[in-house]
Amino acid sequence: MSDERSYPTGIGTSTTDRIQLLGLDLADEVLGKVSFGELAYWLATKRRPTPGQLRVFEAALVSLADHGYTPTAIAARMTYYSAPESIQGAIASGLLGGGSRFLGVTEDTGQFLAASIAALGDTSGYSEDDWDAVARDVLEKAKSEGRKVPGLGHPVHKQGDPRTPVMFQIAREAEVFGPHLSLFEAIGRVHPEVLGRTLPLNGAGVAGASLADAGLPLGLLRGFALLARTAGLIGHLAEEQQHPVGPAIYAEVDRNATYVPPAP
């Protein structure tokens, strides 16, 4: 047995005087030449994005960066109030809340759409009517199984998420409007007749469809949502440092807590 140990990576490495990243010299070939969005895409896929893919990718990140006082933002602010010496802890606490109700919908939608189109074969010639038929089948199956369709509905934007039509437009302009977005758009058109009520296509869902059509790995879609939300959490913490609300949130809950003794 050989005593040599090897831990391969195609990401990066460094020596005393050089840093290599994705096969390039970081200082000479990457710094000032590659944007952060392009680098994030490149790191995840090991290939450089096309201009259209990069535009859709960065638009999706921007769309997911912040949505106000969500549980993730509140968690980050409260952790900062409790441990102001730990910025990393405050950011981490916000990211840990990215799940099935917030942020995780991005990946759930991408995975749902991908599974739905996996058996369709070549869809390049599909018309709007074809996609509507697929959407009806998908929705009827989900309804019969008692499953929710990820990407449908929003707790605030009940009449329509303002991000959704813009993301559709950007993807079309960038020529990155593929089967995931086509099916998601069709779900938006036909779901009222199948489900008996009208729900908006939410921004997290359209981000998932957009990222999938832009060629990002399905298993990393939640990671991109977290990458985007990190920027939003940094913004919340910057604001918390200047105009803290954490003490008021803590006092509001603590002073209005109702103690209910456990039943005997």
Tally Cβ neighbours within 10 Å of residue 117.
20
What the chain holds in terms of domains, given with CATH numbers, is: 107-218 (1.10.230.10)
Q: Which residues contact 81 (CB under 8 A, 6 or more apart)?
A: 240, 244, 246, 247, 249, 250
> pLDDT-derived band of residue 2, with 50, 70 and 90 as boundaries?
low
For the chain, report the end-to-end CA distance as a whole number of angstroms.
65
Q: How confident is the model at residue 134 (pLDDT cuts 50, 70, 90)?
A: very high
**Per-residue pLDDT for 3 more than 80?**
no
pLDDT at 1 over 70: no
- Measured between alpha carbons, how far is 252 from 8 in angstroms, rounded to an integer? 52
pLDDT band at 166 (very low <50, low <70, confident <90, very high): very high
Q: Contact 208/105 with Cβ under 8 angstroms?
A: yes
Q: In which order are the strands placed within the sheet that holds 24-25? A: 12-14, 19-21, 24-25
State if pTM tops 0.85.
yes
